[in-house]
Every structure is written in structure tokens, then in C-alpha cells.
Chains A and B, each alone.
Chain A
Amino acid sequence: MVKVKLFAGFRELAKKSNFDISLGRDISLNEFISRLCDEIPALKKPLAERNAIIAVNHKVADEDTVIKNGDEVAIFPPVSGG
């Protein structure tokens, strides 16, 4: 199971902050994003059009990142603290 966490604008668009996705096998980040958009169609447009940062286990991911059961995947906009 992958723990998914959404923050800021993404959390508000999806109307949820946490949910789980169960994977049959390890998948690429791109496959994971498609899976995410199937689960929550409200995320499809913002993930395609807006800047999204994806962190896996607290580290910013890139297209080579592989997602596996047990991972924590967070999706958020560019940061704006301070």
C-alpha cells in the first residue's frame, strides 16, 4: 500500500488530504500519476497544467523514481513559506 498525501491547493481540489493506493507491482512515477488521476479525477487537470512537486519518502522525486508498496508519496505546489 502506498500512502498518498496532498497539500495546499492539491488537497483542496481533491477534497482530501490522505488516502491509500494498493499496487500490484512496483511502478514508475508516471504510471503512478495516471493511477492517481483515475482514483481522483479532480487531480487530472491540475497535475497536467500546474507545477506539482512530488516527494517520495520525504525526497523530491524525478521521472526515474519507482513507486512501491510501503512508500509515502506527497503531492504539493511549489513551496511558499517564510
Chain B
Amino acid sequence: MIKVQREDFSIEEEIKKVKAKSRRIGGIVTFLGTVRDFSRGKEVKKLVFEHYPGMAEKKLVELREKALEKFDVIEVSIIHRFGEIGIGENIVLIIVGAEHRKDAFEACKFCIDELKKIVPIWKKEITTEGEIWIEEHP
């Protein structure tokens, strides 16, 4: 399941949905991206995320399908937020459920690395020294 949404998500609720997919799941790996208060030497006040509706969802669906195909995992869930997000708040959640941990860890890393390369979502940092669109993916 994939979602691009403005509102926050409940990690607990989303994990429940992944677990409900299959009783064969024996390991769940999650990645949670959050907003930090300092970046590139500047104090960050908040982030603003913009996405390309339609294409962002399409790319996330492709990414999920690729992960399900490439790794021995049972379910992959990806949620990314858009709009203004404050310090410490959630940005992105990836949950991978598998029979065993190894593929779950690898699939989770694959999903966040690829998301940062191919999904049309952009981040603007609002800092104490001005606003800047980020055009790289460390």
C-alpha cells in the first residue's frame, strides 16, 4: 500500500495493516524519516514538501512492486507526507514485512534509497537565513 498525504500517520496503525496481510510475517523493518533542526550549517525552522500528484503515486506503486519482486518479502507499505512539516515531525514511513529479517532490512533500504532518486517530491528548507529548495539526495 502506498499513500501521499498531508496529515500525519500512526506508525502503530500502519504496522497493524502490514501484519494483517499475512500470518507468515516474522520480521518487520521500518524506516521513519523526520525533520531535523539543522542542515548544511543552517538552523532549520520547518520543511515544505511539494509533490507531483499522479506521478508521485505512480512512482511509489512501481517502487513497491519492484521491492516485492526483488526481495523475499511479503508486504511493503510507503507513506510520504506533503505540505509544511515542523521540526521533529514525521516525513516518510516505510514498513516491510517478511518471513525473515535479512530481506526485510534490504528491501527497506532499497525503498528509501530509490524513493530519494525517482519519486517526484521536492523539499524546501525554511531556515533562519532564508528558504532553499534542496536539489540533491544524500
Contacts and interface: CB of A to CB of B under 8 A. Distances in A.
Interface of A: 5, 7-9, 11, 51, 53, 55, 58, 74, 76-82
B80 A78 contact: no
Contacts, number: 69
Interface residues of B, number: 27
B55 interface: yes
Interface of B: 33, 49-52, 54-55, 58, 80, 91-92, 112, 115-124, 133-137
A82 B115 CA distance: 7
A79 B112 contact: no
Nearest to A59: B55
B133 A81 contact: no
A81 B50 CA distance: 9
